[in-house]
Structure formats: structure tokens, C-alpha cells
Amino acid sequence: MIERRPFGRTGHPSTVTVFGAAALARVDQAAADRTLDMLLAHGVNHIDTAARYGDSELRIGAWMPRHRTHFFLATKTGMRTAAAAREELHRSLERLRVDHVDLIQLHSLAHPDDWDRAMGPGGALETLVEARAQGLVRFIGVTGHGWAIPAMHRRSLARFDFDAVLMPYNFLMAQDERYRTTFEEVLAICRERNVAVQIIKSVARGPWATAHRTHATWYQPLEDQADIDRAVHWVLGLPGVFLSTVGDLTLLPRVLDAAARFERRPPDDAMAAMLAATRTTSLFGLGT
């Protein structure tokens, strides 16, 4: 079974692998139901979806009448104004077939203009705080992609006491001094405040080189089990963090299997050798 850790101040003992439900965006219910069986078999008890993940909320909604108490349930809103976020949140609750979610997150809050709208007067954050007071959500988080997101999260945490953050990190990204330093600053803030930290892009190999894509991920992923093991174990070696699983159902069993066998973080020389062997490159234009 997969290790569990306290999900920040929420008090929930979440599995260190959070199911990244973007993997359900374009699958039918039968495929989704097979995924549920896999999650239950591995003891995964935390789902992270979003209003923008295609049919994901609908697929998860079919599970909720029987399995709501089994999962810590998180979704996201990409809306930036209070009114639009309120409408999207209620739509998500309807699609998920629940009366509340455990965590609602501001989705991909990276651009300064988006940040100003969402965090300012009449912004989406106002709706999330209101929804928490109404019992529609229990906790509030913020997510993001790209090389600038740790700096944006630092700014967000200075503006509001978020319960969770989500951002990309892997061994290659850690080789960029600026990114690593800012990431570690955010990690230190989160540890001090007991804010949950979720990691994405752990098994990213680089951008797709051609239009022909063999997996549902928007990036080219690592595929061999040994490489996935190293990448997953390296991230899980960070104390207290959570890894969001890959957005491809064919690779999901390999990530869960790797997490179930986690014991220690691989040494840096083994990680560097893997980067060279797999020709791993940067997703976000970092200097590495």
C-alpha cells in the first residue's frame, strides 16, 4: 500500500500520491470505473480534478454516491471574478454529485493580470472564502505551472493564508538554481504554516518532439518503470510533499507501483545518469 501523510493543516491522512484526475478528461465511464478499482486497490484516498478537465468531474461524479467518504475530494476553478467562480463552483458540485468539496483551488494562477483580478476586490478568492463560510468547501488552495510559479505562490501566500499549493518540480528543474531557490523558499513557508504541497510534472521527460503523441500527457513522459521509479522516489524523498499522478491512464499503474515501493530518495548521480540516458529536457524554457 502507498504511504500516507497528513495533508497539511487539513488533518486528512492522504496517500502521498494524489490521483491527478486530468487523466479522466477524455475517457468513457467504463475506463474511469476501471481506474477507480485501481485506486481502491492501491489505497489511494485523494482525488484532484478541475472544472477545466474535460469530462473528469462527470466521471468522478458517478463514483461519489458510493465512495464519497473514501476520498478527500479537490477541484479547481479557473475563473477570475467572484461571479464567474461562483457559477463554476456550483456547476462542479453538480457534476461531482456532492454537496461540498474538501478543497477548492484557484487554477493556474500564474499571470500577474490574472492574479490581480482573482485576488483583488470582486475576485474569485472572495467567492472561495464565501463558499467556505457556507460549507460548500472546507479548504482553499492555489495551483500553477511554469518556471515563475514558485515566485507567484510566494506572493499568493503573502496575500492569503492558503491551505494548499501545487507546483511543478523534478530533478531536472532542481538543477536550475533560480527555480530551486524559489521553490525551496515556498516549501519553507509552507512547512512553517503547515500548508500542503503538491508536486506535478515529476515524470516529465520534455516537450513532445512531434505532433504524434503516444500518451495523453501534454508533455512527453518517462515510460520505463525503472525511470519512473527514480523520478517518483526522488520527489517523494522531499519530506511532507504529495505527488500528483500522471495524466495518462496507461502510465498510472507504473506511478502507483513506484509509490508503493518507495523507501528512499535515489542519489543525485543516479538521477543525473537517468537524465542523460533519457535525454530529458526542460518543459518551461529554464536554463537547464
Structure confidence at residue 285 (pLDDT)? 63
- pLDDT per residue over 80-126, tens digit each? 999 999 999 999 999 999 999 999 999 999 999 999 999 999 999 99
- Measured distance CA(48)–CA(127) in Å, rounded: 20
- pLDDT per residue over 11-37, tens digit each? 999 999 999 999 999 999 999 999 999
Question: What is the set of domains in the chain, with CATH numbers?
Answer: 4-278 (3.20.20.100)
Check whether 184 has a pLDDT greater than 70.
yes
| Mean pLDDT score across all residues of the chain | 95
Structure confidence at residue 215 (pLDDT)? 85
Helix (H, G, I), strand (E, B) or coil at 166: strand
User: CA torsion, points 19, 20, 21, 22, in degrees to nearest 10?
Assistant: -160
- pLDDT per residue over 32-59, tens digit each? 999 999 999 999 999 999 999 999 999 9
Contact status, residue 97 vs residue 59, Cβ threshold 8 Å: no
Check whether 287 has a pLDDT greater than 70.
no
Structure confidence at residue 211 (pLDDT)? 66
Judged by phi (left if over 0) then psi (alpha if -120 to 50, else beta), residue 155 lies in alpha
- Measured distance CA(26)–CA(150) in Å, rounded: 30
Q: Tell me the sheet residues that pair with 165.
A: 142, 197
CA distances from 81 to 127, 164, 171 (A): 8, 21, 36
Check whether 274 has a pLDDT greater than 70.
yes
Return the ∠ at Cα 145 (arms to 141 and 146), rounded to 5°: 140
- Measured distance CA(96)–CA(39) in Å, rounded: 17
- Measured distance CA(64)–CA(99) in Å, rounded: 11
Structure confidence at residue 162 (pLDDT)? 98
- Measured distance CA(244)–CA(70) in Å, rounded: 18
CA distances from 263 to 15, 170, 273 (A): 15, 18, 20
Helix (H, G, I), strand (E, B) or coil at 104: strand
pLDDT category, 288, cuts 50, 70, 90? very low
- Measured distance CA(288)–CA(273) in Å, rounded: 15
pLDDT category, 5, cuts 50, 70, 90? very high
Check whether 286 has a pLDDT greater than 60.
no
pLDDT category, 166, cuts 50, 70, 90? very high
pLDDT category, 136, cuts 50, 70, 90? very high
Write out the three cell numbers for 12.
486528512
- Measured distance CA(255)–CA(250) in Å, rounded: 10
* Contact residues for 285 (Cβ-Cβ < 8 A; gap 6+): 147
Structure confidence at residue 209 (pLDDT)? 78
Rg of the chain in Å (alpha carbons): 18
Structure confidence at residue 219 (pLDDT)? 82
Mean pLDDT of 245-250: 95
The b/e string for 235-271 (b: 16+ C-beta within 10 A; e otherwise) is bbebebbbbbbbbbbebbebbbebbbebeeebeeeeb
Check whether 225 has a pLDDT greater than 60.
yes
